[in-house]
Structure 1
Amino acid sequence: MALPPPPEPWTGGRTGCTVPDPSGTGGCVTGATAWLVDQLTSGVGPRPVTCWSEHAWNPASDHPAGRGCDVFFGVAGQFPAGADLVDGWRVAQWLRAHAAALDVSYVIWQGRIWVADRAEQGWAPYTGGGVYDPGDATGGHYDHVHVSLRG
């Protein structure tokens, strides 16, 4: 599976949650997160993306801090198959391959997590962190790629 071209690197430093969320939630994101959404669209094409969310059930999530985005494949709440599954892996691998340029901290997809600070470990099983059901299509991140950024 060929990956899309490399993104332009984020060079703006840490901004905090000060930029209007480009996914249209009405919330805010960091400069790096807004940059990632733009680079994702340029690199892999338009996809349904949501970033800022209150996440009242998980206030430790990166979404309310403007550092997390979910890229959906297929129908939310359903396990993707065929081209949607292939496209999800393509995006997850693109995020992983360009983690340094995009300021990526970790990626979750298909019940697996990849952490930039432990890149040599590759994809590890995702347990849900005690908050999410890892066997559920959404809780296990099967219907969407979750990406969290450092800043």
Structure 2
Amino acid sequence: MRTGAWAAAAPLGLVILVGGAMSSTEATGAVSPTASRPYPTDVPAPAVPYEGPSTGCALPDPTGTGGCVTGATAWMLGQVDHAFGQLPTSCWDAHAWNPTSDHPRGKGCDVTFGRLGDFPGPADTARGWLLAHWFEANAEALHVSYVIWQGRIWSSSRDDEGWRAYSGGGVYDASEPTGGHYDHVHVSLED
């Protein structure tokens, strides 16, 4: 069980702790968040819930891709800006090589930490975990389906399993900086 901290087991046994203490269960990556836990004090303020309708990919992508995003995605981007300031983010993309991607549906975004194609340093890795845990903590409010960062994946439908190893889903090489999502946090929304 958690002991007041939001932590994540990173690849190669490295544990990134964003404040507080951690149990040995958490160090192994077997993190089991519960719905009754209080909002963590070591991540930025909670997001304001999205209460708008499901819009489909109908709004211009504010990240400048020339594509579209859903209403929930546009709301989430505003909440990220409010909590973290503007981060290097890209949402809509055709992703022709991945027919199951949420990017062309306007409900997937990537936030880069460090430089794309490179493994980030410790400070960028810690900042990425902070954002990843913020998405996890605000999953219900922002309609987050899943988050991928540092070779790990968390999904709302498997919340009880915590952060699991990310395999690349048969599309990406999970050992590479971009394929394993080491250089960017990916967030997908339900709508």
Q: TM-score, normalised by structure 1?
A: 0.98
Alpha-carbon separation, structure 1, partners of 2:123 and 2:100: 33
Number of residue pairs matched by the alignment: 151
Aligned ranges 1:56-67 → 2 under 5 Å:
56-67=96-107
Max Rg structure: 2
Q: How far did residue 45 of structure 1 move? A: 1.7
Kindly provide the CA deviation profile for residues 52-97 of structure 1, in whole angstroms up to 9, marking residues without a partner as x.
0000111210000001000000011101112111100000000000
| 2:67 matched residue in structure 1 | 27
Task: Give me the CA root mean square deviation.
Answer: 0.6
Q: Which amino acid aligns with 1:131?
A: V
| 2:176 matched residue in structure 1 | 136
Alpha-carbon separation, structure 1, partners of 2:121 and 2:159: 27
Aligned ranges 1:1-151 → 2 under 5 Å:
1=18, 2-151=42-191
Alpha-carbon separation, structure 2, partners of 1:121 and 1:55: 28
Q: Which amino acid aligns with 2:71?
A: G
Q: Which amino acid aligns with 1:33?
A: T
Q: TM-score, normalised by structure 2?
A: 0.78
The gaps in structure 2 that reach 5 residues or longer are 1-17, 19-41
**Percent of aligned pairs with the same residue?**
59
Alpha-carbon separation, structure 1, partners of 2:85 and 2:160: 28
The gaps in structure 1 that reach 5 residues or longer are none
Q: Which runs of 4+ in 1 moved over 3 A?
A: none
Kindly provide the CA deviation profile for residues 8-57 of structure 1, in whole angstroms up to 9, marking residues without a partner as x.
10000211000100101000000000111110011122110000000011
